[in-house]
Structure 1
Amino acid sequence: MGIIWLAGPITWHSSRVAEGYDYDAMTEHERWLISARWHDWYTADWDYGQTTVEFFCAAIGCCLLFNVYARLRARSSGTNRVIDKLTAVLRYTVARQWQFRLGTTYYAPPLAAIIAVCGLWIFVLTLTLAARPFYWPNPAMGESPPLATRSGWISIGIMPFMIAFATKVNWVSVLTGTSHEKLQVVPSVECAHHVCVLFPTPSHITSLTHTFPFIVTNIRMGMMQAMWDPHASSFYWTGVAALIPQTFLVALSWGVIRNRYYEIFKKDYFWATLAIWGSTWLIRTGRTLWNTRLGLRTVVSSVGSTSDLVKLRIATPASFKWVPGQHVFVRVFGLGVHAFSSHPFTINSVHAVGEGKEAEVELILRVHGGITRALAKKVEDGKREWTTRVAIDGPYGGVHAPLERYEKVYLLAGGTGATFVLPILTDLAAKMKAGGKDVVCKRVEVVIAVPDSDAYTWMHPSIAAATSKLPDTDTALGVRVYHTRAYSGKGDNKSDIEADLESVSSESELTGRPDLFGIVREAHESAEKVAIIACGPDSFLYDVRNAVADAQLVIVDGFGKCKDLFLHTETYR
C-alpha cells in the first residue's frame, strides 16, 4: 500500500485549459458557472490560495507600519492630541484582558489578539462560504466539490505563514517588532491552544472542510469503496496520512493536555514553506554552533537558603551579545534525557559592551519539574555547585522601546519575573547617569512581589549595581518590595535586607500583595510620558494589563497629565 503513494512523479504544474467536461450534459447556466471566477477549478489557486496569501501579507504590512510609527513616536518629544488619543485606543486593545473560570482560572489573550483572531476567522469563513453552490448540482461539472476545492487552496495558502509564525528566528518578528512567543497566540497557524482550550485552528478547519465534501460526493455517486481502496487510488490515503497527524497535534495543543504533559508534548506554497522554515532552521543552527562550539562552560548553583531557585552562570564568547530583557533557549548536556530538549530562560545579567572579553550569562530558574528539577538535584544534599556544558540558542525577545525617552519608568515584577526587569533597571540606570539629549528619564520605580525575604535575597546584587550607576538615588530610584507571605529569613537576614533597601531607595519593605491598579494609576498621574514594564504570573499581568487599559481610556477622554503610556508585558510561564 505504501508503494502506490510514491509510484507517480510529483508535478508542480498543470494546464489551466478546462478539459474533460461533458458540456452537452450541462445547462447553459452550469456551463457558465464552471468557468466563472470563484467557481473555476482551473483558477481556484488564484481565487483562494493567492487571496489568502495577500490577506496575510496585508495584515503583516499593517503591523509593520504600526511598528515603524511606534518606534518613531517613542523617539519624538512632541505630542499631538489626535495622535495621542489614537495611540491610546490602540494600546487599550493591547492591554485589555479578561479572565473566566471553568474549574480553574483561564486568562484570555489581550483584546488586540482576540480582534486579530476574529478578523482571521471572518476572512476564512467568508472566503470559504460566500460563493455558492457548495456542491455541483450536476455530476458532469466535475468530481471535486467547490467547497472542498476552495478550502483546500485556503489551507495551502495558510501553510507558509503557519511555519513563519511558529519559528523562533522569525521573519514576521523582524518586520513587526513582536517577539516569537507573542506571535504564537495567533491561531491562524498552529497555536490556537493559547486562545481557547478547545479552539481549533483555521488551517485545521479548512483541511477538514476540504476532506468531508469528497466523502459526501463519493457516497452520493456510489464511489466510496472504490476511491478509498489503497490498491486502486492513493489520493485519499495520502490526504488522510497528513490530516491524522495534524488532528493529533491540534488535540495535544489543548491546554488541558499541554499543561499536564508539556515535556512530551502547489509549488510556490510548498517551496515558500520550505524556504521559511529551512532558512530559520539554518540560522538558528548556525548561530547556536557559532556561539556554543562544543558547549559553553556552565556553573550551576543553588540560590539562597531555599532549594526552589537555581542559578546558571554561562561563560560566553565575546561575539555573543544581548540586551536587557532578552531570553535564550538552553540545552544542558549533562542531564541525560533532558539534554534532548531546550527550554527558554530570561537572562538576568547585563552584557559588558566593549570590553572584548568573555561575558557571563546569568540565569535564575524557579524549580518546578523536568529540567529545573533535574538541575536542582545536582546541587542539593550539600553540593552547592555543579559544572557542566550547555548549548544556547538566541537571544530572543526584549523590550524594543527606548525607555530612556520616557520621563518615568515603572518596573513591576512578580516572583522570578525580576529576572526580566532587573537587567533593564541596571541598563537604564547607566544611561541615566551618562545623560545626553535623548535621555529624559528622571525616575525609575521598581515594584517587586515575592513570597518572603529569602526569595528577595538573590536580587541584592542587581539592585546595588543599579544604585551605583544612578546620579542621585533619592530622586532617581524607588524600590518597593512586597512580601506576600510571612518572613522566613533566619538570623539577621531581615534587618540586612531592610538596611540594603534603605541604602538604595526612598522606599522600604511592605507586606501583602501590591495594589497594581493603584500603582498604575500613580504612574499615569505622575508624568506626561510613562513606560510600564511588567513580568510575572498570569494573575499579576492580568491586573497590570487591565489597569493600563483603563488608563488608556482616560487618555482618550483627554483627562489627566499623561499623554503617552507605554506597556510591555512578559510572562515567565
Structure 2
Amino acid sequence: MGLIWLKHPVLWHSSRVPSGYDYTAMTAVQKQLIITRWHNWYSADWDYGQTTIAFFCAAILAAAILNAASWLRARSKISPTKQQHPSIADKFTAAFRYTTARQFYVRTTRYYAPPLAAVLGVSGMCIFIMALMLAVRPFYWPNEAMGHSPPIATRAGWISIATMPFMIAFATKVNFIGLLTGTSHEKLQVFHRWSAFFMYITSLVHTFPFIINDIMMGEMVSQYKNSPWYWTGVAALVPQTYLIALSWGIFRNRYYEIFKKLHFIASGIFMAALFIHVNFRLTSWDYFWATLAVYALAWLARVLRTLYTTGFGLPATVESVGPDLIKISIRVPSRFKWAPGQHVFIRVLGLGVHALTSHPFTVSSLRADGAAENTAELVMRVHRGLTSILANRVVGRAAWTTRVVVDGPYGGLHVPLKAYERVYLLAGGSGATFTIPIFADLVASMKAGGAVCQHIDFVVAVPDGDNYAWMEPAITAAAAQLPDTAVNVRVHFTRTEKTKGDDESDESANILYGRPVLPAIVRDAHMSASKVAIVACGPDGFLYDVRNAVADSQLVIADGFGTCKDMFLHTETYSW
C-alpha cells in the first residue's frame, strides 16, 4: 500500500533542478536568497544533513583518539626518580578523567545521572542541533512564491534524518562506535536515548511549521484531505511519540520485557512510515541505507557468532548458592572465548515462553586456555522476571538442567590492569561476579611474573556470611597464590553485627562489620603508588561514592600535588 504514496518513477535521488518557483512574484533579494547556502531547498541535505553527519563523526573520532591515548598511557612506565610531581600530560589526563568519574545525584527523585563526560556529550549534541536548526533566519519565507516548505521545517527535517544512523548505531550490542571508543554497548545507551529524543524534537519542529504555514496560506483543509505527506508524516510521528514517551526509566525499568518487544514493533512502524514520507527527496534515502547497514551488520555479526560458538543451545545446570542467589554453569566449547569482566546474554530454552527473552549476566569464572571444554559460570541475585523463575525451578532440588543460547561476550576492561603498580577491586554485593575473575586473572599474571602490579586490594561488601559463602572459595584460592604483602582481601558484612566469639577468627580472615568507607579507601589508593587502577562494581549508591571520590583525587593530580600521577577508574553497574 505504501508504494501508491511514492512519487513515480521511484528513484534513488530526486532532481536538484529548481522547479515550482514563481520568480515573477519575487524581488531580486528574494531570488538571490533562495539559492544561497543554508537557504536553498535543493541543497539543504548537503547544508544540514551532511553537517550533522560531520559533527557526529568528529565527536566519535575525538573519543577514539582519547581512547587510544588512554590505551597507550596504561602501558607507559612512570619513573618516580625522574619526576616527583604530575607532568603536564598527567594533569591533562586527570582533568579529562575527572569528567568521566564525576557523577550527580538528584535526591528528590533518587536519580543517579550519567557521568559528567556523558552529560557534557549530550549537552554538546543539544547545543549543536539547536544552533544548526535555529541560527539561520528567516524561519518562514516572507513570500509564498518562495516555496511551501518553511526554511526551519526543511532544515529540522534534514537534521532529524541525519541523526538517525547514529541513533541506531548507539543502540546495537555489537557496537562499532564502542569498538572505536573503547566503550561497552550499555554505556552508549545514554547517547542512544538522547539522540532519539533530539531526533523527536527536530521532527516536531519539522512538522508544526507546515501546519502553521498552510493555515496562513489558507490551504490547510485541502492539504489535510489530499496530501499524502500529512498522513505519512502522522504515521511516523505517532510511533515516534510512543517510543520517546515509553522509553523513560519509570516505564522502561518496571516493564522491561514488554517494553523491549513493543519497542521493536513501534520502531519498525516508525521506520517504514518515515521511509515513505521522505519519498527519496534529494539524498534522503541514503540515510536509511546507512541505518540499515549499521543495524544489519551488527545483527548479522551477533547471529553468526552465536551460531558458531553455541549453536542452537548448550547444556547448563542451575543451582542455588545462597540466599536469593543462583548460579548457572554452562558447558561451552573451546571456541567460545571470554575475558575477565565480560558479560553475555543468555536465552534459557527450557522455560517455555520465557525462552523468547534474553538477559545479560557477568561471567564469574575464568577460561582455561587449551582446554577442549570450559565452564562459564553466571552468578545472579534473584529479583523479578527470569531470575525468580529460575529460582523456583531449583526449590527443593539440588540442581535443574536445561539448555541455553549464549550471545556474547561483551564489555570488559579495555586497558590491562597488570600495567598499574597497585590495583583496588571494590565489589558491592553480587558485583563480586565482575571483580572475582579480574582478581584471579591479575593474581595469575603477578604469580607468573608478567605484571608490573605489586599489590592488590580486594574489598567486598555483602550483607552477611551466607552471601559471602559462594564467593569465598574462589577469593581464598586466588589470594593464597601470593604472599600477604602482595594481596589484601577485606570483607565487610553490612547487615551483621559482630559478636563476642567472632574476634579472633574475624581478625585473621579480614572480616569487618559495617559498610566500607569508600571515599577513605579511594584516598588511601591515591596515596599508595604512582599508577593506581580502581575497578568497582555494585549498586548505584556504591558506585556514586567511588566515582566522586576518584573525581576528587583526579583534581588533586590535575593541581599537581601528590605522588599519584595516573589513576584509572572502571565501573560496572547492575542496571543500564
Q: Same fold (TM over 0.5)?
A: yes
Task: Report the Cα distance in structure 2 between the residues aligned to 1:65 and 1:309, rounded to whole angstroms.
Answer: 41
Deviation by residue 1:202-239 (Cα, 9 ceiling, x = unmatched): 1111111111111111111122222222xx33212112
Aligned partner of residue 257 in structure 2, secondary structure: coil
Matched, 1:483 2:472: no
- Aligned residue number for residue 467 of structure 1: 479
Q: Is the Cα contact below 8 Å between 2:325 and 2:382 reproduced in 1?
A: yes
Task: Report the Cα distance in structure 2 between the residues aligned to 1:88 and 1:165, rounded to whole angstroms.
Answer: 27
| Alpha carbons of structure 1 residues 37 and 245: separation in structure 2 relative to 1, 3 Å | same
Q: Is the Cα contact below 8 Å between 2:533 and 2:568 reproduced in 1?
A: yes
- Aligned residue number for residue 220 of structure 2: 224
**243, 247, 252: which one aligns with 1:253:** 247
Matched, 1:202 2:203: no
- Aligned residue number for residue 195 of structure 1: none
| Alpha carbons of structure 1 residues 190 and 54: separation in structure 2 relative to 1, 3 Å | same
User: 1:4 Cα deviation (Å)?
Assistant: 4.0
What does 1:521-536 correspond to in 2, within 5 Å?
521-536=523-538
What does 1:507-518 correspond to in 2, within 5 Å?
508-518=510-520
Aligned partner of residue 127 in structure 2, secondary structure: helix
User: 1:565 Cα deviation (Å)?
Assistant: 0.4
What does 1:32-431 correspond to in 2, within 5 Å?
32-78=32-78, 81-102=87-108, 104-186=109-191, 189-191=192-194, 201-229=197-225, 232-265=226-259, 266-304=284-322, 306=323, 308-355=324-371, 357-380=372-395, 382-431=396-445
Q: Is the Cα contact below 8 Å between 2:497 and 2:513 reproduced in 1?
A: no
Matched, 1:434 2:436: no
User: 1:465 Cα deviation (Å)?
Assistant: 3.0
Aligned partner of residue 78 in structure 1, secondary structure: coil
User: 1:14 Cα deviation (Å)?
Assistant: 1.6
Task: Report the Cα distance in structure 2 between the residues aligned to 1:294 and 1:271, rounded to whole angstroms.
Answer: 31
Q: Is the Cα contact below 8 Å between 2:341 and 2:438 reproduced in 1?
A: yes
Deviation by residue 1:450-477 (Cα, 9 ceiling, x = unmatched): 111111011112213312433x2x1111
Q: Is the Cα contact below 8 Å between 1:527 and 1:561 reproduced in 2?
A: yes
Q: Is the Cα contact below 8 Å between 2:33 and 2:40 reproduced in 1?
A: yes
Gaps of 5+ in 1: 193-199
Matched, 1:538 2:552: no
Deviation by residue 1:176-198 (Cα, 9 ceiling, x = unmatched): 11110111111xx3357xxxxxx
Q: Is the Cα contact below 8 Å between 2:340 and 2:363 reproduced in 1?
A: yes
- Aligned residue number for residue 448 of structure 1: 460
Q: Is the Cα contact below 8 Å between 1:453 and 1:487 reproduced in 2?
A: no
Deviation by residue 1:26-62 (Cα, 9 ceiling, x = unmatched): 1111111100100000000000000000000001111
Task: Give the TM-score normalised by the residue count of structure 1.
Answer: 0.92
| Alpha carbons of structure 1 residues 234 and 553: separation in structure 2 relative to 1, 3 Å | same
Task: Report the Cα distance in structure 1 between the residues aligned to 2:397 and 2:360, rounded to whole angstroms.
Answer: 25
Aligned partner of residue 256 in structure 2, secondary structure: coil
**559, 562, 575: which one aligns with 1:560:** 562
Gaps of 5+ in 2: 80-85, 260-283
Deviation by residue 1:56-80 (Cα, 9 ceiling, x = unmatched): 0001111111111111111010376
User: 1:9 Cα deviation (Å)?
Assistant: 5.3
Q: Is the Cα contact below 8 Å between 2:341 and 2:413 reproduced in 1?
A: yes
Deviation by residue 1:58-109 (Cα, 9 ceiling, x = unmatched): 011111111111111110103760000000000000001110123x411111
| Alpha carbons of structure 1 residues 26 and 6: separation in structure 2 relative to 1, 3 Å | closer
Deviation by residue 1:274-301 (Cα, 9 ceiling, x = unmatched): 1100000100011111122120000000
Task: Report the Cα distance in structure 2 between the residues aligned to 1:52 and 1:531, rounded to whole angstroms.
Answer: 37
Aligned partner of residue 228 in structure 1, secondary structure: helix
| Alpha carbons of structure 1 residues 8 and 368: separation in structure 2 relative to 1, 3 Å | farther
Task: Report the Cα distance in structure 2 between the residues aligned to 1:222 and 1:383, rounded to whole angstroms.
Answer: 75
- Aligned residue number for residue 277 of structure 2: none
User: 1:337 Cα deviation (Å)?
Assistant: 2.1
Task: Report the Cα distance in structure 2 between the residues aligned to 1:4 and 1:495, rounded to whole angstroms.
Answer: 82
Task: Give the TM-score normalised by the residue count of structure 2.
Answer: 0.91
Single out whichever of 517-526 and 12-21 deviates more from structure 2. Answer: 12-21
Task: Report the Cα distance in structure 2 between the residues aligned to 1:226 and 1:458, rounded to whole angstroms.
Answer: 71
User: 1:19 Cα deviation (Å)?
Assistant: 1.7
Task: Report the Cα distance in structure 2 between the residues aligned to 1:487 and 1:518, rounded to whole angstroms.
Answer: 22
User: 1:12 Cα deviation (Å)?
Assistant: 2.0
Task: Report the Cα distance in structure 2 between the residues aligned to 1:111 and 1:320, rounded to whole angstroms.
Answer: 36
User: 1:3 Cα deviation (Å)?
Assistant: 7.1
Q: Is the Cα contact below 8 Å between 1:433 and 1:469 reproduced in 2?
A: yes
Q: Is the Cα contact below 8 Å between 2:464 and 2:493 reproduced in 1?
A: yes
Task: Report the Cα distance in structure 2 between the residues aligned to 1:236 and 1:153, rounded to whole angstroms.
Answer: 17
Task: Report the Cα distance in structure 2 between the residues aligned to 1:537 and 1:441, rounded to whole angstroms.
Answer: 27
- Aligned residue number for residue 20 of structure 1: 20
- Aligned residue number for residue 267 of structure 2: none
Q: Is the Cα contact below 8 Å between 1:452 and 1:487 reproduced in 2?
A: no
User: 1:488 Cα deviation (Å)?
Assistant: 11
Which amino acid in 1 is paired with 2:402? T
Which amino acid in 1 is paired with 2:200? H
Deviation by residue 1:387-415 (Cα, 9 ceiling, x = unmatched): 00111111000011110111100000100
Task: Report the Cα distance in structure 1 between the residues aligned to 2:2 and 2:34, rounded to whole angstroms.
Answer: 35
Q: Is the Cα contact below 8 Å between 1:331 and 1:391 reproduced in 2?
A: yes
Aligned partner of residue 388 in structure 1, secondary structure: strand
Q: Is the Cα contact below 8 Å between 2:122 and 2:194 reproduced in 1?
A: no
Q: Is the Cα contact below 8 Å between 1:338 and 1:370 reproduced in 2?
A: no
Task: Report the Cα distance in structure 1 between the residues aligned to 2:207 and 2:180, rounded to whole angstroms.
Answer: 35
| Alpha carbons of structure 1 residues 2 and 60: separation in structure 2 relative to 1, 3 Å | closer
Task: Report the Cα distance in structure 2 between the residues aligned to 1:434 and 1:6, rounded to whole angstroms.
Answer: 67
User: 1:18 Cα deviation (Å)?
Assistant: 1.3
Aligned partner of residue 66 in structure 2, secondary structure: helix
- Aligned residue number for residue 274 of structure 2: none
- Aligned residue number for residue 196 of structure 1: none
